[in-house]
Amino acid sequence: MRSLRYLAIAAALAAIPAGQAHADLRAKAAREAAEYVVKKFGRAAAREGTETLAGRIASAGAKHGDDAIAAVRRVGPKALTLADEAGEMAPDAYRLLARHGEDAAVWVLGRPGGRRLFAAYGDDAAEALVRHKGLAEPVIERLGGPAVKALSTVSPRGGRRLAMMADGGDLAAIGRGDELMAVIARHGDPAMEFIWRNKGALAVGTTLAAFLAKPEAFLDGTNRLAGTVAETAVRPLAEETARGLSLAIRGLIVLAVLVPAGGFYLAARHPRAAAGIAQAMIELMPARRRR
């Protein structure tokens, strides 16, 4: 008998359409959200009553998904009004309200620039706009999607510095902006701090190439930008100068010993010629004498 009863219950549940079951779950979630809102925001926030509020939440959830219910739980009944005012962007409004709260939704959707960037780049743009209010919009307008990801990973201080570099022309002077933004997006504030401190050095093409090839080595201190410049520019010149001095000194000593009168004159006036003569004379010496 018990087995037959279980089979009957299972058959009855299977007979319920999947959509109806989901609707019932959403209605239950809407009811719980309404009760939560009344407790959290007070009855003044739900003047129409718990039942009416639950019905409105369930309707919004059926039309726009679970973000609508989450938004009302976070913001209160005002979420329904804000979403209605957003018109065709109501689903976006509910998503922003659920994830970032009322101020974020108003900041992003309440201004033409914010709506445009949000439509173009999605939730990452919204996060950047909220985190860097007043700064992110012109940076994203200028640098596009790569700047969205970079701004989403840095602190307000890093965002200010990035905005200053974009506005002041430093980023344009450095060049390869998309790759630079990708480094910031991967490493966040440490990369932004490094670029800010070394913006002058990074404007040199070879230095920038070395940094972009392996930014981790520069960020952890393994490599230094100054060392890279010396390797590519200063070291060959220093080595050449040292070789020249060595030849001159050798020429001076050898000629001074072997040709006292003319050696000093020739070594002083023509060190390279003296060095050549000295080298030839050394080669002509017997091996035992050279040792």
* Burial class of residue 32 (count of CB atoms within 10 Å of its CB; 0-12, 13-18, 19+): middle
For 197, the 3-state DSSP assignment is helix
Q: What is the DSSP letter of 176?
A: -
Helix residue ranges, H only, 42-101: 50-64, 66-75, 78-86, 90-100
Q: Percent helix, strand and coil across the chain, each rounded to 5?
A: 85, 0, 15
Q: How far is CA 211 from CA 165, 170, 217, 234, 281, in A?
A: 18, 16, 8, 19, 49
Residues 194/219, Cβ–Cβ less than 8 Å: yes
The pair of three-digit structure tokens given for residue 100, joined into one six-digit string = 């970032």
More confident: 35 or 197: 197
Model-wide pTM > 0.85 = no
Spatial distance between the Cα atoms of 192 and 214, rounded to a whole number of angstroms: 15
Q: What is the mean pLDDT of the chain?
A: 78
- The count of C-alpha atoms lying within 13 angstroms of the C-alpha of 68, restricted to the half-sphere facing its C-beta, is 24
Residues 278/250, Cβ–Cβ less than 8 Å: yes
Spatial distance between the Cα atoms of 48 and 38, rounded to a whole number of angstroms: 11
* Burial class of residue 158 (count of CB atoms within 10 Å of its CB; 0-12, 13-18, 19+): buried
The pair of three-digit structure tokens given for residue 27, joined into one six-digit string = 């209605």
**For residue 139, what pLDDT is reported?**
95
Spatial distance between the Cα atoms of 167 and 239, rounded to a whole number of angstroms: 42
Q: What would the mean pLDDT of 8-17 be, rounded to a whole number?
A: 51
**pLDDT tens-digit readout, 102-152:** 888 888 888 889 989 988 998 889 989 999 998 999 999 999 999 999 999
What residue ranges do the domains of the chain occupy? 13-100, 242-291
**pLDDT tens-digit readout, 222-245:** 888 754 443 444 444 444 444 554
**pLDDT tens-digit readout, 18-68:** 556 666 777 888 888 888 888 888 766 667 778 888 899 999 999 999 999
Q: What would the mean pLDDT of 249-261 be, rounded to a whole number?
A: 51
Spatial distance between the Cα atoms of 29 and 70, rounded to a whole number of angstroms: 10
